[in-house]
Structure 1
Amino acid sequence: MGRIVKSIGGLIQSVRREKLANLFLIVFLTVVLGAALVYVSEITANSKAFTGFGDAIWWAVVTVTSVGYGDFVPQMPVGRIIAGILMFFGITLISILSGTVASIIVDRKMREGRGLENIKLKNHTVICGWNQNAIRLLDEYAQKKGMKKSELVLVNDMNPEDFQSIAAKYPDIEIAFVRGDFVNENILAKAGIGTARYAILLADTGRKPEHGSPDERTILAALAINASNSEIFLSAELVNSNNEQHLRRAHVDNVIVNGEFNAFLFSTGVRESGIPVLIKEILSNKSTNSLRQVEIPAGFFGKSFSDLSEHFMKNGKGILIGFISNEKKMTLDDILSDDSSAIDAFIKRKFQEAEIDIAEEQQAEMEIRLNPGLEYVIRETDSAFIIGNA
């Protein structure tokens, strides 16, 4: 239903852009004028073909659209002559109108397929870049519950034919496409980054070196995205872990280093061969016992880890392994006194002169607590990690 509403909205915008209002106005005036002339000619001749002007309007609409119900028919010669003229003009105008609207729809679909259309979405996810992990990412959206109806916008330089193949492969996901360089702010604006809820920056490893390294482009894109939408949740993929600090300064919420855990999995697999298999099972989207983050059920805040663990086990949800907490860091304002003293003002001024962003320190920090102990007291800032079905 949502797609139908958006398609109608897009068609209306296209109609406005193509100035079809004039054509609709001509059709409307033709119907009204034809109905008025026939109605007057019939009434003047004391014909009872129409009981009122409303009947004449209905007859004119039916005649112009070539439906021809036959419930109202002019009886006088003059009325029939006018009807013949109205039929001729009606067929011509409706043909022009329907052809123009069809052309607009086809052109719009072609522009969307080529990545040239502006995206008019809200709370969607923008995926920038393309590499070997992109298809796996789309697989996650296609297979996980609650993510199938996601609205995704791909921003990259792939060929339109390749995008059409991808869209056909994932019919349950609403995928749009913007073709261009995701570092360009105009391209990001075309993808609706200002109204997006999430953005994912994939390491763009397929570009030539003269366009910059993948990490450089990821950092530039992160800065551009946050400049356009400071509320967006931004995830980014890095090739070199040394660049993580730059993404943190760009307010990236989630940083993933490509191949970061490969060495661990290889070395662990030599000594304890079951661990890589276990990790693959936990992280697989096809497994029924995958790792999940869920909200704490109502009534369990203030209770213990043991209580919640027992609740999940009894209800078949899975095994509770820990929590993630969004803790607010201690800020400069927490340290300084409430009085606006000269010393406090001096300290704040020195921070500003050193170009230290006090507001940046106020961001919430995620803290992971795995196996916190049976007596751990659950807080309102906690979410739970479980292995099993959420």
Structure 2
Amino acid sequence: MVNPLAIKGIVGKTPLLVRLLFIIFVIVFVIGIVIHALEPEAFPTLFDGIWWAIVTISTVGYGDFVPYTLIGRLLGIVLIMSGVGFMTFYVTTLAATTIKSRNAYLEGKLHMTDKDHHIIIGWNERSRHAIDRLLEANENTTIVLIDETLEELPSTYRRVHFVRGNSTEDAILQQANVREAASVLITAKHQGSEFSADSRSILTTLAVKSINPHVYTVVEILTEGQIVNATRAGADEVVESTALTGAVLTNGLLHHNMSKILDRLLTEGEKKQLFFYPIPEGMIGKTFDDYFQSLYESDEGLAIGLKRVDRIHLYPPKNMLLLSGDEVALLVRTESHL
């Protein structure tokens, strides 16, 4: 025996738009059957009756089918009085739902459902730059921005999914679907002391890693003393932005235009790009100089360093043997990636 409370629970969980559409469908179908049975000459087929009901309930009124009997016309009046009300309510509810969903999207209240996306935490010039570069590299990249200071997503970034809230809270991270994200960038909040900014970044790292221990996480740290704590919290890569910026500025003073070279090396839009590439199987066991020469002669790129586990060897010795799992830092032309 069917439990009425169970049916009521199912109906209660069904979205209002679906329920309205179902009611309209039932009204159209029943009226179509009845009018076909009452006036078979005016409505030769069942579909003709249903067609007339749809045209009438939507207030289009083509006039290709018209009831002639008193009962048929009374049925038409009932359809207009009841059905049109449901139809109007459905249309207005649909419009209201659409507007509500759009506002929720702009205000950062919608849940992210995509997978393998990039999450950027904090709205500032660094995060803006990161978003621009990611979209330039791949316009189909899915990006989620988490920030608690923005009222709504800026109009120039409609392709970015916005989540408004505190990034240290599990509910906000789950709304951004961090469990299925490909990577997370945590930028420092330049408000208050540098220590408090770093503490917040480390706390956010802990929250991210507690939900998804495997997501690659890049964390911006302002003070050198907090780098070890960020690493302990689970950060896969820590960028000490203050020291990095200071080094670039100092090199600009000592060696004029050095900052321009560094900028061009790391800018996606340039014709050359710096990135890591796995050592080809045929080069394992050979020296770094062998691989360097083969790349240079084939014009495939310029090897400037080697990554082994977590250690970077910049300009390694020529006789350094290449091992399985090594990655070479290559400067390549963007139109000829390996």
Q: What's the TM-score bracket when you normalise by the shorter of the two chains? A: 0.7 to 0.9
SS at 2:242 equivalent: coil
Distance apart, 1:316 and its partner CA: 5.0
Q: Residue in 1 aligned with 2:261?
A: 278
Alignment match of 1:382 (pick from 301, 326, 334): 326
Contact 2:301 2:331 in 1 (8 A): yes
- Partner SS, residue 290 of structure 1: strand
User: In the superposition, relative to structure 1, how do residues 119 and 267 fare at CA in structure 2: closer, same or farther (>3 Å)?
Assistant: closer
Matches within 5 A, 1:216-255: 216-255=199-238
- Residue number among 149, 155, 167 corresponding to 1:182 in the alignment: 167
Residue 40 (structure 1) aligned with residue 64 (structure 2): no
Secondary structure of 2:103 counterpart: helix
Q: 1:195 aligns with which of 173, 180, 187?
A: 180
Any stretches of 5+ residues in structure 1 without a counterpart? Answer: 1-14, 327-365
Mapped to 1, the partners of 2:99 and 2:277 lie a distance apart of 43
Query: 1:250 corresponds to which letter in structure 2?
Result: A
Pairing of 1:113-262 with structure 2 (within 5 A): 113-143=106-136, 145-146=137-138, 148-161=139-152, 163-164=153-154, 168-170=155-157, 174-206=159-191, 208=192, 213-262=196-245
How many angstroms apart in 2 are the aligned matches of 1:112 and 1:170? 12
Q: Which has the higher contact order (CA 8 A, sep 6+)?
A: 1
> What is the alpha-carbon distance in structure 2 between the residues aligned to residue 182 and residue 119 of structure 1?
15
Task: Give me the CA root mean square deviation.
Answer: 3.1
Q: For each residue in 1:149-198, what CA deviation from the matched residue of structure 2 results, as whole angstroms up to 9, or x when unmatched?
A: 2222221122325x23xxx3245xx3122222212222222222222221
After superposition, the C-alpha distances for 1:78-112 in whole angstroms (9 at most, x for unaligned) are 33442343244333221110110110111111122
Report the 3-state secondary structure (helix = DSSP H, G, I; strand = E; otherwise coil) of the residue aligned with 2:217. strand
Q: TM-score, normalised by structure 2?
A: 0.82
Unaligned runs of 5+ in 2: 1-11
TM-aligned CA distance change 1:17 to 1:292, over 3 Å: farther
Partner secondary structure for residue 16 of structure 2: coil
Q: CA deviation at 1:312?
A: 4.5
Following TM superposition, by how much is the alpha carbon of 1:287 offset from its aligned partner in structure 2, in angstroms? 2.1
Distance 2:17 2:238 in 1: 48
Q: Secondary structure at the match of 1:160?
A: coil
Any idea what SS the aligned residue of 1:126 has? Answer: strand
- The whole-number CA distance in structure 1 between the counterparts of 2:281 and 2:199 is 44
1:295: Cα distance to partner?
A: 4.6
C-alpha spacing 1:23/1:314, structure 2 compared with 1 (3 Å)? farther
Q: Which amino acid aligns with 1:193?
A: V
Amino acid at match of 1:194: R
Aligned residue identity for 1:169:
T
Aligned length: 323
Instruction: State how far apart, in whole Å, the 1-side matches of 2:13 and 2:287 are.
Output: 60
How far does the alpha carbon of each residue in 1:296-347 deviate from its partner, in whole angstroms, 9 at most, with x for none? 5676556664565466556654322233234xxxxxxxxxxxxxxxxxxxxx
Q: Give me the identity figure in percent.
A: 24
- State the 1:382 CA deviation: 2.8
Secondary structure of 2:204's counterpart equals: helix
* Maintained 8 Å contact 1:130/1:203: no
The correspondence of residues 308-387 of structure 1 with structure 2, limited to 5 A, is 308-309=291-292, 312-313=295-296, 316-326=299-309, 366-372=310-316, 378-387=322-331
